[in-house]
Structures are given as C-alpha cells and as structure tokens.
Structure 1
Amino acid sequence: MKTMKLVGLVAVMFTGTVNAQINLGEKALGAVQKGYAGFTFSDEEAAAMSKEAVVKMDAENKVAGPKDAYTIRLNKIFGKHSTENGLNLNYKVYLTKDVNAFATADGSVRVFSGLMDIMDDNELLAVIGHEIGHVANHDTRDAVKAAYKKEALVDAVASQSDKVAKLTDSQYAKIGSAMIDSRHSRQQESEADLYSYDFMKRHKYNVNAVESAFTILAKMNEGTESNFLTRMLSSHPDPKQRAEDAKQRAVADGLYKPYVKKAAVKTTTKKVVKKKK
C-alpha cells in the first residue's frame, strides 16, 4: 500500500496524504494558461472518472474481504445507508493502521481500519455521514474536476477544451491519490459537518458522537502529530471549534448530553475462547 501520513479525521472529515503526488510539468501549466478552466464537467463525468480512479486505488491497497471482521462490522454499521438520500453508495475497508476515511464522486466510501480501531460505532457513523455530505454537496465532484485539470491538461487534451478526455491507467491512479489528498474549503467542511449532524439526527443516532469525533481530532492535534496536523488544519476550521459547533447544535435541539463512548472497539478476526468455570 502507498504510504499515508496520519491526518486523523481532518479533511474528508478526514483525509490522508499520499506520497504519490500529481506532477504539474511545464506542459500542463502551459495548457492551463491556454484557457482550459472554462470547460464543462458534469456530475456523471465526475462519477465515471472517480469510479475508474477508485478501481485503481482498491487494486493498490489491501481491502478487507467479505468475511473479515472489519467488513462485517462496517456492514452492520453502514449497510442500511447504501442508498442514503438518493445516492448509491458502496463502501470498503482498507486494512492499514492509518487513521482516515474518504469518499468520491461516484459514491465510493473507503474507511481505514486504523480509524475503526479508535472510534466506536456512533463516531464512525458521524464520520461516514460527513463523507456522504461531501458527495451530496458536490464537493467530491469539484475535487475530481480539479484533479483532472491538473493531471490531464497536456496539449493533446487541451485541444479538446470542451470535452473530458479519456485518461491513461497511470493518470487514473494519480487522480485517485489526488482525491484522497484533496483539501476541501472551510465552507465545504462546515457544510459537511452540518450534513453529518443532520444525518445522525435524521436516523435517530446519538448526535453527540459528532462532537466526540472532533474531540478525538483535537486531542490528536495536541499530540505527537501536532506539527503535521497544524499544517493540514491551516485551511480548515479548528477541530475544537467544530466540536463546539456540533455541541451547540445538539443543545439547540434539546439533545445534548455528555457523550459516553462505548467500550474501546478492537476489531479482530481471532475467535474468543471462553474458559470453562
């Protein structure tokens, strides 16, 4: 699997940083300067491109199988939301210690096992609700559009400035990496936070888990990863403020109470053998 740095619930609620970055050569930058920015890019085109990129990412990462404990747990938590709000969602677990989750324009949701190890079910639902928000609000469409424009803007493609050109396998792989590494704006993050809260409320989950998830992020930001997280958070709302905003929404709805986190979840494939008394 490509190496990913800990971002701990940051940009997609949480997005990681992939080492493989898009290389904008002089040729690509020249194409940008030729006025390619105005081309149209539909939701359908973004979804199709995202799907191809996700296929590449799934092939390059270790994906939990259908009988894996992580998959079973995610099915239990999220399976009934695969058609949430009119969206067709698919979801898988990447087996890695990294703390991360992301969504793409085609409705693909990928959750990292490292995130599942530190969050209980309600907190995970808050994270996934946030990811669905980015899809529903078209943030993921805009992210893949930006990634496409950076990767595909070479003279051969720029000559077709009103069309979305077919990409190579390597370009799809790079776009996949860029989607994980995308930085949503403060407004997009705030709107996805609100979507997450409304998602939890609509389905009668514990809305206070949203505050709890951001509290985890805030604590991470104060820990050993603080320098990296501070750089990442420079263009995003402060996690403490996001936690406070979630709390105030719950207070306004008369739903607030201090969140009692469920017992630490450690997903494992090992069988538990009970001792005879």
Structure 2
Amino acid sequence: MKQTTIAKKVEGVGIGLHKGEPIKITLEPLEADLGIVFYRKDAGVSIKAEPGNVINTQMATVVGNKTGIYISTIEHLFSAINSYGIDNIRIVLDANEIPVMDGSAISFCMMLDEAGIKTLDSDKKAMIIKREVEVKEGDKFVRISPSKNPKFDYTIKFDHPIIGKQNYVFEFSKDGFIKEISRARTFGFLKDVQMLRANNLALGGSLENAVVIDDSRILNPEGLRFENEFVRHKILDAIGDLALIGMPILGDYTAFAGSHDLNHKLTLAILSDEKNYEIVTLNQELAKEYSKVFA
C-alpha cells in the first residue's frame, strides 16, 4: 500500500471562528514522507503538524512555533484528511486559524473530493498499538488499545436536558466518516458564547457554523442533523486530534468526557514509550485489512 497526497490544488474561503474575518485556505499536493505541513502565507512560515508543535488545547487544537506564529482550530480539517487516508498535504493560509465553515468537516470533505487522491511511490506506514494507553483526569479519560479494525467509542455526559448522556460507536472508515460523522457540527452554550465575545473571541461564531443551546432548547431553527449530533462531533474532533500522530493508527479509541487536551496528552503518552506501538510498512496482509477502511 502506497502513500497518498491530493491530485491537484484546491482553494476555499470561510470565516474564522474567533476573529470573524474571511480566511483563504488552499490545499496543495505534497511529496512523500513530508506529512501534513502548514504554510502561513501572511507570515512566510511553515509549521509541521505533529504532537510536539501543539501549543494550546483550551478550546481547539492549536499548533505553532517558537516565534509566536500559530494556526488554530485544525481538528475539523484534520479529521477529514485522516479519514481520507491522506499522508502528505500542504495547507496554505492567510491568517492564524482554519476557517470554521459550517462547524463540521463536510466542507473539507468536499474540497478533498474536488482535489482527488494521488498515489505516491513510497510505501505507506502505520502505527500498530501494542498495548493499552490511557490518560485520565478525575472520571474523564481517553484510551487507545490494540485492534486491527479501528473504532471510536465515545461517551459524553452533560448536565443539560438537551444533551444529557450520549454514546456512539463508530467503526472507522472513509465512507462511514462521510455518512455518520462529517456533518456533525461543533456546539456551545449561549452563556459561554456571550462570555467569549466579551473577550473578543468567537466573533465569527453564529447559528450558521455551530449548534447553540440556551438553558432549555436548541436555538438553531433547523434543529439537529442527528439525534446524537453532540457525541458524533466529539468523535470528529478525536479523529482530527489523533491525526497529529502523522500516520494511520491501528487501535481502538475509547473516551468518556474527552477533550482536545486529553487527546493531545494521549498522543504524547503513546509516543513516550516505544513499547506502546510499532511503526510498520503496510505489507500485503496488513494493506488488505487496512484498504477496506478507504474503499
């Protein structure tokens, strides 16, 4: 099984969630073994997408460098890139965040569909999880465990009548991602949005790019896209956060009340001990199993 990139350059424009300004995003093909690379056109700086370059996980996953240049809210785009099995891609931006689009990953899926997938000459690598790794904070946890057929088993619990406790198990595949996960939007509480805006954050947030909830109801006139859209979006985020590992992960992900921060700490915990994983070239047998994911 060979590495992939996109077949041609594609461009899009969307609003930045925090600054509320238009942002141009361009996805470009990249050669083998280069991974996912950001280029801040306005600053003339490239940043490799990898766990060591994550600088903030408070409200989104943010990567940056020592000079203070950063890119925020990468997880929705990365979720699509990961689910399409793309190993190498260059993301060109003229601002410090990925545009929020409609708050889900479907716009990025459409961009990748337009770009097409190109197979490269170099062999594809994958990370096989060899033993369970877990990160806990109180009763919250995220965990990865050995599996040949990756799945995401996520549970959320909110003290809110609209959300409550939700669980969803997603068997990872490209087709499944598009149908079950990609359209699930980010969500927030009205009181939190008001507080963020008072601090000049979430200026681009609206009912067009998020599910917004007050004390008792959903404010979006169209309602939810899925009955359990909230937990599906958490899976979307997790797929994007784990993509920072830089290669497909053969392992089961389980979470209760997870977060960007716990996901980041999980990637660091995996990489902290080589006994946790094995990096392999996808030989004929492994490729046969894994290729089903991207059929």
Scaled to the shorter chain, the TM-score interval is under 0.3
TM-score computed with the length of structure 2 as normaliser: 0.26
1 or 2, which has the higher helix percentage?
A: 1
Higher gyration radius (CA): 1
1 or 2, which has the higher strand percentage?
A: 2
